[in-house]
Structure 1
Amino acid sequence: MFYLLILLLQMKLIKQITDLNKAINKEKELGFVPTMGSLHKGHESLIKISKKKCTKTIVSIFINPTQFNNKEDYKTYPRNLNNDLKVLKRLKVDYVYIPTVAQIYKLGKISKISLKKVDKILCAKFRKGHFEGVLNVLNRFMKLISPKIVFMGEKDYQQFFLVKKFIEKKYKCRVYSGKTIRNSNKVALSSRHNLLNSDDLKIAGLITNKLFNLKSLISKNKKKSKNLIKTVKEELIIRFNIKIEYLECRNLINLSTGLHNKPFKLFVSYYLNKVRLIDNF
């Protein structure tokens, strides 16, 4: 407890909007890393990039209820504030903003955000209202913080794609993506790993490596992508007894399924021991 108090004395921890305004009012080169806490090496990577590209960096810790389409998922989402603050102090973050739900959503009504039909794919198809919630809360953060650059990871590439399109059109701000950080088994780091045991993570590693191989095969023959995906999908479901929400290829230009002469990624969402994991390759 004493150690935590020392950390807080040395780091600008902000909980109120009035204090936020005072702290960052004159910052013109501010990097913003929005998080929901339970920080891992992926978050750390984004923070380090922000510190290199911007004069000052602000990190938010806010588990946003409006982006959860499942109330139980919101309740069980990993929370570890004490550890998060130690990580941020070690990284010498300039500002840490930890608002309450009431504080963020009492800002008043903001124009309703709706996804276009073409964007209701992948996670948006299976998590109704999820990205609307993400864009809503980031819109509110943008009005409060006015950063020069927002930093997001590529693990949730669809989120990055939608946020970039929304933020850069509405604000004088860039949205920068950081590469996905993986563990020794090539599994993309996620806060949800705190809900899995070691055996689950080993299985996730086997699945991940299988999907990396699948991406390689598709890259060599895009015309056979549907058949290759179907075969691997059936194999993974039977072998590991998992539920796969989606496993499909999308190009990086507009996230459509047209792959001809376009860079693309293989996207997946699956449930392992009731925990939902996403990745792209």
Structure 2
Amino acid sequence: MEVFKEIFPLQSYLQEHRKSGKSIGLVPTMGALHKGHLSLINEAIAEADVVVCSVFVNPTQFNNAADLDKYPRTLEDDLKLLEAAGCSAVFCPSVDEMYATLPVVKFDFGNLEKVMEGSFRPGHFNGVGIVVSKLFNIVNPDFAYFGQKDLQQYVIIAQMVSDLSFSVKLRRVPVFREASGLAMSSRNRRLSDAAKEQATSLYKALQLCKEYLHNGTDLDKLKRDAWKVMEENGVQVEYLEIVEPATLEPIENISAHKSVAICIAAYIEGVRLIDNEIIKLDF
């Protein structure tokens, strides 16, 4: 496995592979890797000839300086995991390498960034758009792999790819969960064992929503009871939204849709967690 900290050596490496007709897969991450990230690597290995994983804690997507400071950084362990997984190359640049000057370009994703995460994290998706577009330009991948746990991020990146005519094909990989149902996240390592147990209530709330949808329960009761499941476990719920998976538009009439996404954000021990489930309604 090759490790690159600078852009041009990485591009030279990839150019040689591209000359021989090999396809390139990109897995963008912020490090502190876990099995969920490795599921993205595995998907990439199954499809692409050369797999590049980026490890970069992107400062432009944090609207909370304390959150940026606390974000776990475990590069040495990350490299061991990636090598064992069969990753071809890792790109782990410094902030100065990625941002020689502060970007002045601003992304406006319209209504896509005004709901859910966008409502509570102003500027976040502008930072995501900037760093992902930079990675696409640096790596020029044939495929790029993103986790469904960050569903809103995936939808926004898909819009960016369409609007800016990036040639990359996006792949959305299902949420990877612990045995308890807790969605794997780098932030989980900041939780105590007791808090991890509390956090399983997010998954329980999602499963309740799924049950209610299949039973035809009205949406107001669905939201109220799912919210209660989390609050009774000491979870501070930020939002629970029922949206159309491709557009993130709020859903009021279930019968008009073939699938819905239940999206949750909540705080436990001051750590912000998100989760979601896409539920098919073909029943």
Q: TM-score, normalised by structure 2?
A: 0.90
- The separation in 2 between residues aligned to 1:132 and 1:115, in whole angstroms, is 8
- 1:81 is displaced (CA, Å) by 1.0
- The separation in 2 between residues aligned to 1:120 and 1:210, in whole angstroms, is 24
One-letter amino acid matched to 1:172: S
One-letter amino acid matched to 1:23: Y
Contact 1:168–1:175, Cα closer than 8 Å, also in 2: no
**2:39 matches 1:49:** no
**2:210 matches 1:215:** yes
- Report what 1:251 is aligned to: 244
One-letter amino acid matched to 1:220: N
- 1:13 is displaced (CA, Å) by 0.5
Q: How many residues align?
A: 269
Change over 3 Å in CA distance of 1:118–1:15 after alignment to 2: closer
**2:74 matches 1:67:** no
Aligned-CA RMSD value: 1.6
Any idea what the Cα deviations from partners look like across 1:179-213, whole Å, max 9, x if unmatched?
Answer: 11100111110000110011111111134223312
Identity across matched positions, percent: 29
What 5-or-longer segments of structure 1 have no aligned partner?
1-10
Of 231, 243, 261, the residue aligned with 2:257 is 261
What 5-or-longer segments of structure 2 have no aligned partner?
278-283
One-letter amino acid matched to 1:278: I
**2:136 matches 1:142:** yes
Change over 3 Å in CA distance of 1:107–1:14 after alignment to 2: farther
Alignment of 1:143-222 (within 5 A): 143-170=137-164, 171-221=166-216
Contact 1:114–1:132, Cα closer than 8 Å, also in 2: yes
Q: Which moved more, 1:198-207 or 1:155-164?
A: 198-207
Q: TM-score, normalised by structure 1?
A: 0.91
- 1:226 is displaced (CA, Å) by 1.9
- The separation in 1 between residues aligned to 2:25 and 2:202, in whole angstroms, is 35
- The separation in 2 between residues aligned to 1:64 and 1:109, in whole angstroms, is 13
- The separation in 2 between residues aligned to 1:118 and 1:24, in whole angstroms, is 33
Alignment of 1:218-229 (within 5 A): 218-221=213-216, 224-229=218-223
- 1:277 is displaced (CA, Å) by 0.3
- The separation in 1 between residues aligned to 2:43 and 2:154, in whole angstroms, is 16
Runs of 4 or more, structure 1, over 6 Å off, are none
